[in-house]
Amino acid sequence: MELNLLAFAIIGFLLFMGVEYLLARKTGKNYFQFAESVANINVGIAERLLDVFTTGIFYFFFAYIHEHFALFDIKPHWATWVALLLFTDFIWYWYHRLAHEVNILWAAHVVHHQSEDFNYTVSARITVFQAVIRSLFWAVLPFIGFPPAMITSLLLVHGLYPFFIHTQTIGKLGILEYFMVTPSHHRVHHSSNEVYLDKNYGDVFIIWDKLFGTFVKEKEDVKCVFGLTTPLKSYSFLWQQFHFALELFTAFRRAKGFRAKWKVVFGKPDDIDGNIRPELEQKWLFAPAKAKNTKFQRVYIIAQTTLSLVLLFFTVLFEKAIPHGLAALSVLFILLSLVNTGAILEQRKWIFYLEYTRMLVILAALIFYFPHLYAVGTVVFAILLVTLYFRTLQQRFDRILYQRVNR
Ligand SMILES: [Zn+2]
Ligand SMILES: [Zn+2]
């Protein structure tokens, strides 16, 4: 059976997060907030999951460009590998810079910057939209003439590197600070302090920032304040992913004339009316969540996130072996769990409907792929019971989860 060993990278990432967490605790530094970490990991789970489907597509896309439009016929050689690394890093710089300067691209990249923490979990904040936009920029590489196999191998390493720069546990790195992107440089990139804003876009080498005037050193006397200039204050999975797209859509509708509309799509994020977000928050987020998470919620959230991670691991590992339908059900189950976890962090009331839907997904998976009489019977019985006593059970569930009676 052909396994996708990239699944083990997920375990590697989690190990690093764990070590960093223990280290931070030992030194008494509070780098991790529970809700932030869960939200960060959840964004990452969705990306890893959907990436399984997009990676293959992009390989064919690169191969197509290489076959039909390649300018040069480049063969693997140490010199061409070095050239590829430099080209890739150069394209990254511009992809990343434009992702901050052009609204339509910022709509996807904003998710990477929402966390007010800065630790390894933040590196997981990549969405599938970001991944797709980035891959479109990479299309320059096969066009120059780099073979797709070379590109995908290099992108693997190039994609791994930024994980390690999302940490506060590492200070300055001596001579490396001159030409590599270090944790210190990337801390600056994630900060919303005036002096640090829109700086240090590099991925592996910091030389491009120095060359194009976007480099700033981390200063001793300016402590990094992480996150967006206007913090999001919401852990809703869907809101985090789509709030800026909605803001753009609203601004686009209100803009009068072609020029104004064009400016909304391709202009700078700063020019979008700051009053739109509060308006949309009122409309879509209802009352802001105030209550703190109870111990039971934390246990429930940790259990769910663990389950999503385990499911993700096996879905990626057996990517080539499992039937498409089962993979789709697994994806659906995980996505529902992510929305669910975010909603619990936000103290939302409609969780029970999601729980019900998840049960139906489990039932479908059992019927189609593991038709064992007792297993199917048990789930059918459970669903029947829940359907019959829906209202009562929902109230019970809310009461246990939120430790109060609200209805
Ligand atoms: Zn960025
Ligand atoms: Zn980052």
Distance 200 CA to ligand 2 centre (A): 10
Ligand showing the shortest atom-to-Cα distance for residue 165: 2
Question: Is pLDDT above 60 for 239?
Answer: yes
* pLDDT, mean over the chain: 91
Question: Is pLDDT above 70 for 405?
Answer: no
Residue 194: what residue type? E
Give residue 371's pLDDT: 87
Average pLDDT estimate for 201-208: 96
Q: Which CA distances in Å does 29 have to 46, 120, 185, 302?
A: 29, 15, 20, 22
Distance 127 CA to ligand 1 centre (A): 13
Q: What are phi and psi of 158, to 5 degrees?
A: -65, -30
Distance 99 CA to ligand 1 centre (A): 7
In a shared domain, residues 135 and 256: no
Indicate whether 190 belongs to any domain: yes
Residue 362: what residue type? I
Q: Which two tokens stand for residue 314?
A: 């096996």
Distance 105 CA to ligand 1 centre (A): 11
Q: What is the pLDDT of residues 140-199, one digit of tens each?
A: 999 999 999 999 999 988 989 999 999 999 999 999 999 999 999 999 999 999 999 999
Question: Is pLDDT above 50 for 407?
Answer: no
The more confident residue out of 297 and 199 is: 199
Ligand showing the shortest atom-to-Cα distance for residue 100: 1
In a shared domain, residues 32 and 137: yes
Question: Is pLDDT above 90 for 216?
Answer: yes
Distance 43 CA to ligand 1 centre (A): 16
In a shared domain, residues 270 and 313: no
In a shared domain, residues 121 and 199: yes
What stretch of H or E contains 209? helix 207-211
Distance 95 CA to ligand 1 centre (A): 10
The more confident residue out of 286 and 13 is: 13
In a shared domain, residues 136 and 158: yes
Q: In angstroms, rounded to a whole number, what is the distance separating the alpha carbons of residues 223 and 164?
A: 21
Distance 268 CA to ligand 1 centre (A): 14
Give residue 319's pLDDT: 87
Please count the structural domains in the chain: 3
Ligand showing the shortest atom-to-Cα distance for residue 201: 1
Contact status, residue 35 vs residue 124, Cβ threshold 8 Å: no
Distance 300 CA to ligand 2 centre (A): 29
In a shared domain, residues 128 and 12: yes
Distance 95 CA to ligand 2 centre (A): 13
Distance 166 CA to ligand 2 centre (A): 6
Indicate whether 229 belongs to any domain: no
Contact status, residue 168 vs residue 188, Cβ threshold 8 Å: no
Question: Is pLDDT above 80 for 228?
Answer: yes
Last residue of a domain, one of 211, 227, 254: 211
Indicate whether 263 belongs to any domain: yes
Distance 123 CA to ligand 2 centre (A): 6
Q: Which two tokens stand for residue 47?
A: 């990306």
In a shared domain, residues 28 and 168: yes
Question: Is pLDDT above 50 for 299?
Answer: yes
Q: In angstroms, rounded to a whole number, what is the distance separating the alpha carbons of residues 141 and 56?
A: 17
Last residue of a domain, one of 284, 306, 340: 284
Give residue 404's pLDDT: 56
Q: In angstroms, rounded to a whole number, what is the distance separating the alpha carbons of residues 75 and 80?
A: 7
Show the CA angle centred on residue 107, arms to residues 101 and 112, nearest 5°: 90
Report residue 305's pLDDT band, with 50, 70 and 90 as the boundaries. very high
Question: Is pLDDT above 90 for 348?
Answer: no
Residue 26: CB partners within 8 Å, gap ≥ 6? none
Distance 244 CA to ligand 1 centre (A): 15
Indicate whether 232 belongs to any domain: no
Question: Is pLDDT above 60 for 289?
Answer: no
Burial 231-268 (b: 16+ CB within 10 A, else e): ebebbbbebbbbbbbbbbebbbeebeeeeeeebbeebe
In a shared domain, residues 107 and 177: yes
Q: In angstroms, rounded to a whole number, what is the distance separating the alpha carbons of residues 92 and 97?
A: 8
Q: Which two tokens stand for residue 355?
A: 């729980």
Give residue 286's pLDDT: 66
Report the percent of the chain where pLDDT is more than 90: 69
Residue 258: what residue type? F
Q: What is the pLDDT of residues 97-136, one digit of tens each?
A: 999 999 999 999 999 999 999 999 999 999 889 989 999 9
Give residue 290's pLDDT: 59
Report residue 287's pLDDT band, with 50, 70 and 90 as the boundaries. low
Average pLDDT estimate for 354-376: 91
Q: What is the CA radius of gyration of the chain?
A: 23
Distance 162 CA to ligand 2 centre (A): 7
Report residue 84's pLDDT band, with 50, 70 and 90 as the boundaries. very high
Indicate whether 224 belongs to any domain: no
Enumerate the β-bridge partners of residue 180.
205
Q: In angstroms, rounded to a whole number, what is the distance separating the alpha carbons of residues 214 and 206?
A: 10
Query: For 255, which DSSP code?
Result: -
Ligand showing the shortest atom-to-Cα distance for residue 162: 2
Distance 179 CA to ligand 1 centre (A): 19
Residue 403: what residue type? Q
Distance 190 CA to ligand 2 centre (A): 6
Distance 350 CA to ligand 2 centre (A): 33
In a shared domain, residues 247 and 326: no
Q: In angstroms, rounded to a whole number, what is the distance separating the alpha carbons of residues 169 and 201?
A: 21
SS3 content of the chain, % helix, strand, coil (to 5): 70, 0, 30
Indicate whether 222 belongs to any domain: no
Indicate whether 243 belongs to any domain: yes
Indicate whether 168 belongs to any domain: yes
Predicted TM-score (pTM) of the model is 0.90
Distance 340 CA to ligand 1 centre (A): 27
Q: Which domain holds residue 376?
A: 295-402
In a shared domain, residues 97 and 154: yes
Give residue 11's pLDDT: 93
